[in-house]
Chains A and B, each alone.
Chain A
Amino acid sequence: MEASAYIDEARDPLIIAEGWVKDGREVALATVVETWGSAPRPVGSHLVIDGEGNFQGSVSGGCVEGAVVTEAIDVIGTGKAKMLEFGVADETAWRVGLSCGGRIRVYVERLG
């Protein structure tokens, strides 16, 4: 048996991202770099996004992925990395938030 059988290749964001880059797609990588309080996904979790808004993986329990995808498409366009911060839903900085009450910082960079 191949050692790679230990990675769930069909759902692994970094494996998927490598495939997308090989196919010539433009790709951004979002990473949870800091969490406070109860956060749904641990530091280091990845979401990968292509130029058309297709995505795999997660940085939250589905609460903020939509906003991250929008920002990622911007990052793909400019090539300039961004730091995003999400808190509870009633914070004014973002339209979306985390219902769990935690806060997360997500770093978005272009894969090139």
Chain B
Amino acid sequence: MDRQVLQTLNAERRARRAAVVVTDMSDGSVRLIRQRDATEGELGEAVTKALRTGRSGLVEIGARSLFLNVHLPNPRLVVIGAVHISQALAPMAKIAGYPVEIIDPRSAFATPERFPEIVLHAEWPEDILARQPLDAYTALAAVTHDPKVDDMPLKAALDAGCFYVGALGSRKTHAKRVERLLAMGATAEQIESIHSPIGIDIAAASPAEIAVAVLAEVVRAFRSRGLEAKGAAA
């Protein structure tokens, strides 16, 4: 690998964009393929698969043995709402390898005392998300119960292709939310992808237990990413 490839690769990684380093094992030549680069033929197929699954490995193409090293951005979790559930979810998710950022414009909720050592934005979601857009390697959980705060980031998460979009609320609350999101231009397919009621069913009762259920759902969504597409193709 030459220094130019290394610099470009690190620039992509810092910008949270996926890339694949392709090394030809016969002559050691290296090529960097960024997610936005179109690649044709068998190599293109292998690169697409690698980006979807996140798995690096050797592939045989023609007479050549190529090593594909996939660099995907680290997953992260954006939580809308500095509420009781978030106080438990933030440290748990951080330990599990999903760094958390919390957004809540209500400054009485979003205080460093309630969220020690957690990245906290006491701002409206539209302001912070304009500066720090969501992406496919981000999970978003909306837990304020307040449409004024939750709706915009939910729509933004669906449009950004976040690997997980969850929204707290009863089925009745969610039905009303669906109507609002449809009015905002969300598609039926996008609505279908929202996890609500939020969290896997472990009969969670306390805020901390709900946090466990949400974190488990986020992990499952991240680790099974792309598997549906694979099943559909088979």
Query: Do A and B associate with each other?
Result: yes
Question: Is B28 close to A, CB under 8 A?
Answer: yes
Distance to closest chain A CB from B49 (angstroms): 14
Distance to closest chain B CB from A49 (angstroms): 14
Question: Is B225 close to A, CB under 8 A?
Answer: no
Across the two chains, which residue of chain B brings its CB closest to A44?
B56
B67 near A107 with CB under 8 A, answer yes
Distance to closest chain A CB from B123 (angstroms): 12
Distance to closest chain B CB from A108 (angstroms): 10
- Please pick, from B1, B25, B56, the residue contacting A29 in the complex, using a CB distance under 8 A: B1
- Looking at chain A's contact residues, the main secondary structure is mixed
- Please pick, from A4, A6, A44, the residue contacting B70 in the complex, using a CB distance under 8 A: A44
A21 near B1 with CB under 8 A, answer no
What's the Cα separation between A111 and B2 when bound, in Å?
Answer: 5
A18 near B10 with CB under 8 A, answer yes
What's the Cα separation between A31 and B6 when bound, in Å?
Answer: 14
Across the two chains, which residue of chain B brings its CB closest to A2?
B14
B3 near A31 with CB under 8 A, answer no
B1-12: CB near A (< 8 Å → 1, else 0) gives 111001101100
- Looking at chain B's contact residues, the main secondary structure is mixed
What's the Cα separation between A14 and B6 when bound, in Å?
Answer: 7
When A and B form their complex, what is the total count of cross-chain residue pairs whose Cβ atoms lie within 8 Å? 59
Question: Is A81 close to B, CB under 8 A?
Answer: yes
Category for how many chain A residues contact B:
20 to 34
Question: Is B132 close to A, CB under 8 A?
Answer: yes
Within 8 A of A (CB), among B1-34: 1-3, 6-7, 9-10, 13-16, 23, 25, 28
Within 8 A of A (CB), among B69-102: 69-70, 73-74, 76, 99
For B25, what are the chain A residues with a Cβ–Cβ distance below 8 Å? Answer: 33, 83, 107
A70-107: CB near B (< 8 Å → 1, else 0) gives 00000000000101000000000000000000000001
Interchain Cβ contacts under 8 Å between A and B, 8 examples: A2-B14, A7-B74, A18-B6, A18-B7, A31-B23, A33-B58, A34-B58, A43-B57
Query: Which B positions have Cβ atoms within 8 angstroms of A?
Result: 1-3, 6-7, 9-10, 13-16, 23, 25, 28, 55-58, 67, 69-70, 73-74, 76, 99, 119, 132
Beyond contacts A6-B74, A14-B9, A109-B28: 15 other A-B pairs, Cβ-Cβ < 8 A, are A3-B15, A4-B14, A6-B73, A6-B99, A18-B3, A21-B6, A31-B23, A33-B57, A33-B58, A33-B67, A34-B58, A43-B57, A44-B56, A44-B70, A111-B6
